[in-house]
A and B are shown apart, each in its own frame.
Chain A
């Protein structure tokens, strides 16, 4: 599954790593909802790190759509909350 981390590029993440991503994503979502910046920073950086470490970088000249898109690594909980409410993050 191709996952994009915005500002970093695309990673090909094996399907069996996706469950672990789901767990981390739930933590991130919870932290965003409660506005807990510390918990957010920890869970979010773990989520990105898992994508980077389990995924294989997609070649620069490959033209493929991502199944999933993650916000940039320096996003804050507030940034993400805003993005979550905004359907058109990646405009068609």
Chain B
């Protein structure tokens, strides 16, 4: 048997899961889709004493839109479902564009939204997308809950704002402005592999054809999703290739990339710059199309 022995619990409600978490604390690990946790358990890199399997929590399985355009995703929504949900395509094209880059179809059939976000792999797509979208996460504990902005949630490598007795139960994505455009791009060695670098970009174009501030959030270039300040200078500017190139250059200069077996630090920075330039141009083009 690959994983080390553990005690297994399969709660039938969120309340029961939270009581188990409160009871077990640091010894416990939540098993959602298992597409990251089980591999590390198979390698025995992780040996949790207790697993709390939340796959029966159908109350966390919702995808809903509110009248104002807010999109709500339950933590146990499978990633594959986001590809098929019309509400996601309509309300969050950036998320819809990023999802096919998340691993392989078989992984997305099982992997969950909340699992990916809470696992906090810096090379994962969903955390960077949620930071770019200004999403908020609802963290529940027995007898209470709090909301944390995606940008404040990621604290370090595989480290989040979650306390040992808390569970990420819902994601709230705010309404998309009518003049917004977005783009997600990444580069990986093979499709479905973790990206060597990737970027989620949002911008706006007003009725006079001028850009608003742009948001650029990178994945796989640091310990957490990395948002750069370089996108702010697009505010009030007309879109141009020169502008996009200079923003991308400045963005890449802000990054503190590191080398690993997949790519050198220099190559990562190069990829980040190229991807940022292309994604910003595409986001602006989409934004202009929508505001016309």
Task: Indicate, yes or no, whether A interacts with B.
Answer: no
Q: Which residues of A contact B (CB under 8 A)?
A: none
